[in-house]
Amino acid sequence: MDPKSSKWTASSKNQFFMILAIILLQHQLQFPVTYAETAKKVHIVYMGEKRHEDPATTKKTHFEMLSTLLGSKEAAQSSILYSYRHGFSGFAARITASQAAEIAEFPGVVQVIPNGIHKLHTTRSWEFIGLEHHSPQNLLTQSNMGQGTIIGVIDSGVWPESKSFHDEGMGPVPSHWKGICQQGEHFKSYNCNRKIIGARWFVKGFQDQTHFNTTGSREFMSPRDGDGHGTHTASTAAGNFVAKASYKGLATGLARGGAPLAHLAIYKVCWNIEDGGGCTDADILKAFDKAIHDGVDILSVSIGINIPLFSYVDMRNSIAIGSFHATSKGITVVCSAGNDGPISQTVANTAPWLTTVAASTIDRAFPTAIILGNNKTLRGQSITKGKHNHRFVGLTYSERIALNPMVSSQDCQPGSLNPTLAAGKIILCFSKSDTQDMFSASGSVFQAGGVGLIYAQFHNDGIELCEWIPCVKVDYEVGTQILSYIRQARSPTAKLSFPKTVVGKRVSPRLASFSSRGPSSITPEVLKPDIAAPGVDILAAYTPANKDHGNSYEFLSGTSMACPHVSGIVALIKSLHPNWSPAAIRSALVTTASQTGTDGMKIFEEGSTRKEADPFDMGGGHVNPEKAAYPGLVYDTTTEEYIQYLCSIGYSSSSITRLTNTKINCMKNTNTRLNLNLPSITIPNLKTKVTVTRKVTNVGNVNSVYKAIVQAPIGISLAVEPQTLSFNRINKILSFRVTFLSSQKVQGEYRFGSLIWTDGEHFVRSPISVRAKKTSDY
């Protein structure tokens, strides 16, 4: 993350965290072993499913264990940070590495790990995906806009004064709610209402990791959001109606969240400091623990871990662990896929019980005219509303004004431009890679005295905000045309127009280039991401405390923005179908997703080369809320099935027993990894022939007959048995088998297809991904 931008969504700004992690690791390795053994650091002692329903008894067990380790109750009291006693059992405490090794051998302890730190991964978007506010028969109306559901948001807090969080029209606080409105710095009990019904903050893990305090920072030791990320995601999921919301006059319209009448519960775990920030495992797990206790229905988590991923029973994958316990209690957990695309195998949050969301574009554009001195007009995109060039000014190419002729200034990185030559001019810059961004280039041009920026980049999925000077983003083709004019003209000049807001003219959706791609690097047989949703240039509430922006509504891009879109949709579906499980809801989203854009053609991805989006880009496809509400059939999955899946990927019965607090017998089934009842089928290593089983539950018309339609991957033959499923009052759940046979003679790449069950009204589509593998040691 670029700490000066405070935009925690773009992968280009998240490099800071990776560098920080490497520095911290190297720093730790420089100390002698004796220091590592005696230095106290926060460790998480995970004990799996709680053994007692009484939280006080569970907490007492934790203190007794820690007292035994440390020798006294007083030492345990001063050491412990958190006791996890609602959703699962465990605690976080300051202990040495040798003490951590010792307590790991105590009876009942599943795992002990050091505290880690993770990163944080709308006026038009809802209409774009079909949730029209004024339509009398749509999902928004039928679900009463999510009234009665509670969305928990684990993020950077909330700015409660935002107009998006007023409670006009809200129903009463649900009777099952058990949470609190935790007070703190500039956050009082009256900051909660019938919209924000509860708020908590967790900082002990982050404090220990960073020695953080709020002196001289914009952070607040309370649920109040000093960054803006949490406010943005919360208002996207469930913001109330706000008329004429805009960013400095752009994208003006009626702002609202996906479920405008759903309630919000805020769990602040992510903290922003001048030289970095993040969210630690200890704090994240405590948020999950409290959210389970408080009674949320949905959890929206726009946080992720870096590659390489940790296993699903490894405490360093705190989101996987916390979400397992939440899902087993009926809470749907929605997570962002990550912002490390378009590279394959970068998707985060890959546990099969999660709903993982990729980011896409919408059909809104902000065209800006670039008028050259030869009267030729070219067009780019801009969301800058500042002092524009009403008259022609000098135009130059960044390489011509390099501060050091021996160092390339093509991409206008900080310190690369000569202020004497840049002053008063519009500068043309070319991005060299996806890791460079217009925001940092605009700061460089501004510092050098430039008055405008034209930024050429190979993809167009998202426009960085520029606060200081007008900025226009163009593709390489337009950038090259401008460069040709600069080279030919004796005194090149240009002026930039104000941007406009245009909707319905741009082919969308497109998969954002930054959106992390599959397949999963840890369990490739589980398709991730599950679904795609709007996540590019999303306008939502923001915090005025963020000095880099300070606006009430802000454009942000990232899978962090896509995640709460799906969380809001889940709230609507949950209101309509309160007894549906998290797996059933995920299945409804995946199997009804759209495959085509506004032009009727296949959805494409944005990247170094454009291609049709495949399941590793967008899972089942682009979210279609109206169809997801009535999917016809669902692929439901139980906690027991998830447990057997954990058995199949190598975990022992004893370790899983400690995780779940139930006696587990791992079944000997060689196909368990492929037979987990997901709404997709992924076979990463098809050698010759394999048969996969699935079962579907009828949630549509009682007496229904569904027939199979198969689109086999290239080079793969595919047979479904039976080819017809007949449902009635007795037979509500039916199974089928799919047999795959490879005809490829050489090692293959992934090929894609689909299986659709249809009764003529519903089309229940499962994406299929298959890779042929001819030898075991290829």
How would you class 601 by CB atoms within 10 Å of its CB: exposed for 0-12, middle for 13-18, buried for 19 or more? exposed
What's the CA dihedral at 753, 758, 760, 762 to 10 degrees? -90
Q: How far is CA 377 from CA 371, 478, 497, in A?
A: 5, 10, 10
**Which of 511, 506, 501 shows the shortest CA–CA distance to 532?**
511
Q: Can you say how many angstroms the Cα of residue 109 is from the centroid of all Cα atoms in its chain?
A: 31
Please, what's the largest Cα pairwise distance for the chain?
83
Catalytic-residue membership of 560: yes
How far, in Å, are 347, 380, 431, 437 from residue 473 at the CA level? 27, 5, 10, 10
CA–CA gap between residue 302 and residue 119 (Å, rounded): 9
Phi, psi for residue 335 in degrees, rounded to 5? -130, 155
Active-site option among 229, 549, 577, 622? 229
Q: CA 514, CA 512: separation in Å to the nearest integer?
A: 5
Beta bridge partners of 611: 605
Whole-angstrom distance, CA of residue 6 vs CA of residue 546: 8
> Shortest CA distance to 511 belongs to which of 411, 615, 630, 401?
615
Answer for the pair 90, 40: CB distance below 8 angstroms, yes or no.
no
Residues near 58 by Cβ (< 8 Å), separated by ≥ 6?
A: 50, 51, 52, 83, 85, 89
Catalytic residue among 2, 155, 294, 759: 155
Encoded amino acid at 568, one letter = G
Instruction: Specify whether 599 is catalytic.
Output: no
Q: Does the active-site annotation cover 622?
A: no
Per DSSP (E only), the strands in 276-342 are: 276-280, 298-301, 303-304, 332-336
492 touches 486 (CB < 8 A): yes
Return the residue matching tokens 């390099």: 402
From CA 226, how far away is CA 158, in angstroms rounded? 8
279 has which bridge partners? 118, 270
How far is it, in rounded angstroms, from Cα 179 to Cα 165? 18
What residues act catalytically?
Answer: 155, 229, 560
